[in-house]
Amino acid sequence: MYVVLGASGNTGHIVAKTLLARGQKVRAVGRNASPLQPLAANGAEISIADVTDAAALTKAFQHADSAYVMIPPNPTSNDALAYAERVSDAIAAAAKNTGVRNIVSLSSIGADKPSGTGPVVGLHNLEQKLNRIDAANVLHLRGVYFMENTLPQASAIRAMDCTAGPLRPDLKLPMIATRDIGAAAADALLQLAFRGKQTQELHGQRDLDYTEVTAIIGTAIGKPNLKYVHLTDDQIRPALIQMGMSDNFASLLLEMTSALNSGYMRPLEPRTARNTTPTPFETFVAESFVSAYQQQAAA
């Protein structure tokens, strides 16, 4: 039995679908039943649990051999790191209480650092807690900058006829489609080749800076002269809050972008065939960004 947290989310639903397609028993865990129904239709057992509730997660982990775990984002929280601590405490308690033998966790580059990386500090702490479970084999998948992080640029283009953000325009970032993280996690759970406590970075298909990102987006939406505007933290903060983030989460996000800009938060592994994933940014833009941009136009 495989347990999958965040089973209706970007990475979790790929993990669950892949395992089900391979004929495995899957318990899909989420806060609400409705988004999990497509997985139930494909044979998954559904478990409703709040990820901060250790007792509920312990019940969800019962009789499972392996688990995919992650901290669902909570951008409206007024203390996002305290929320992450509650989630990681509950996950670690459930895994320890039930004796799950194999755990794949969604982590991030920068999780090697105990501070100064914004929300990634919560992932550092999750890694540490899982590493203290002696009986479990644990693989931490450290993803890079999500391609999905570019989706809010659709509204920026509509409002300002440019892309904009706090990252340096010349900062080369490895960028990954979240579906590739889900595929890598499912593969790791099927193979179970990891032992002890391990980390593996996932670098996406290639490194891009936001000038290149903007050019790719501009070509796809018929704006070949689209430009990227580098904003200060004070300029971008009101936009983040207008998007629905709490001031606390916005501050953490800006701390993370500052850590990326300075190089404090960066990959530790060289790019190899093992950590390079297949989806190019052009494919993500064609399949996801263009529709998001068109929906902005319709709205």
pLDDT in tens, 9-35: 999 999 999 999 999 999 999 999 999
pLDDT in tens, 40-51: 999 999 999 999
Look at residue 296 in the predicted model and tell me its pLDDT: 77
Q: Kindly state the tokens that stand for 50.
A: 């709040």
Look at residue 141 in the predicted model and tell me its pLDDT: 98
CB atoms closer than 10 angstroms to residue 165: 23
- Reduced to 3 states (helix: H, G, I; strand: E, B; else coil), residue 44 is coil
Q: Does residue 297 have a pLDDT over 90?
A: no
pTM of the model: 0.96
Provide mean pLDDT across the span 193-210.
98
Closest CA to 191 of 117, 253, 236, 139: 139
CA of residue 80 relative to chain centroid, distance: 15
Q: Does residue 116 have a pLDDT over 80?
A: yes
Q: How far apart are CA 88 and CA 85, in angstroms?
A: 5
- Reduced to 3 states (helix: H, G, I; strand: E, B; else coil), residue 217 is helix
pLDDT in tens, 231-277: 999 999 999 999 999 999 999 999 999 999 999 999 999 999 999 99
- Binned at pLDDT 50, 70 and 90, residue 299 comes out as low
